[in-house]
Structure 1
């Protein structure tokens, strides 16, 4: 299935961002952000949300505090935002174009989730969608210090499945994630707004 993108290259592992790549969660996350921000008289646009996608929520709150001169407690905000997200979990679906690849390569080569979201939220979403069986490992926000665009999370995933980074193919929807994959010396396919796939390198 990947031959049309890489006719002269094969990969030994596939590494997937989660939100907006495997699961169509970005609208639910944006809505949860704005519900949680409402009491602070703040809001987050779709463009802002996408520009920060890949970073842990607590880190984004710290950035917003600096930007807006506010004093929002990151840990408390994370709990509130996650509660709003989980309330809409039943509306979340998978991204068909990516799931077709996952199902095709399942059992042939290792696959991992590499995300800036917290493990609890990712696992609950995966369970809701019934897709946890496809992945050999998860690398989540709690597992590393430097988030995307740093390559740490992708390098950690490659190490956990014991595959050289250059032999891994990453899937991402956000600029920060694509940069992280490239810095990790990985090829990357971008999931576009219409859920088609584009080679970024």
Structure 2
């Protein structure tokens, strides 16, 4: 099954983690280890349900779910440090990379991520794709994160493309909801590769 764009698409928006770069197993292990210090069993199912939520709000969600009072910055920073130390192990998601290279310079492209901008840029550099994206909308650039459509709407605005003419490539349920709410075309990239998070 070949991944390609919709003929109607005039702008392409890519999620990053789990879409362009297969970082999700590395994020999962970092979250599992950080959560274990607070007595939380961070399962794959829990991880999947929280995919797309930024760093500190994820800890706030864990506080709600497990009735804890964990400092979001303390736990979040510990998780992010472990992730950053291992992010070089991530491999590019080849079917998505092929689309990026095929349409680079032909139609506008951007990255819309719930991650921190610094790490998003580093992630793209590590798989040699940083030169393909001038537009990155990250956690710091929005007030509302996925499933709210603001991330993708901001990408469309910066690309100068109407939201309905944008196609979003996503692996997370919340990101797909955000794209649908924004009125954009959406592709679930998980159909094009196997994710191994130790299931």
Q: 8 Å contact 1:170–1:187 — kept in the other structure? A: yes
Aligned with 1:26 (options 24, 27, 34) = 24
Higher RCO (Cα < 8 Å, 6 or more apart): 2
Superposed CA deviations along residues 58-102 of structure 1, whole A, max 9, x for unmatched, are 111111111111111111222111110011122111100100000
TM-score normalised to structure 1 length: 0.91
Question: Over the residues paired in the alignment, what is the CA RMSD in angstroms?
Answer: 1.6
| 1:150 pairs with 2:148 | yes
Where structure 1 has 5 or more consecutive residues not aligned to the other structure, the ranges are 197-201
3-state SS of 1:63 partner: helix
Large movers: runs of 4+ above 6 Å: none
SS at match of 1:40: coil
Q: Where do 1:95-110 residues align within 5 Å?
A: 95-110=93-108
Scaled by the length of structure 2, the TM-score of the pair is 0.92
Which residue does 1:180 correspond to in 2? 178
What secondary structure is seen at the aligned counterpart in 1 of 2:37?
helix
Unaligned 5+ segments in structure 2 are 195-199
Query: 1:193: how far off?
Result: 5.6
Maintained 8 Å contact 1:32/1:84 = yes
Number of the residue aligned with 1:191:
189
| Aligned position for 2:74 | 76
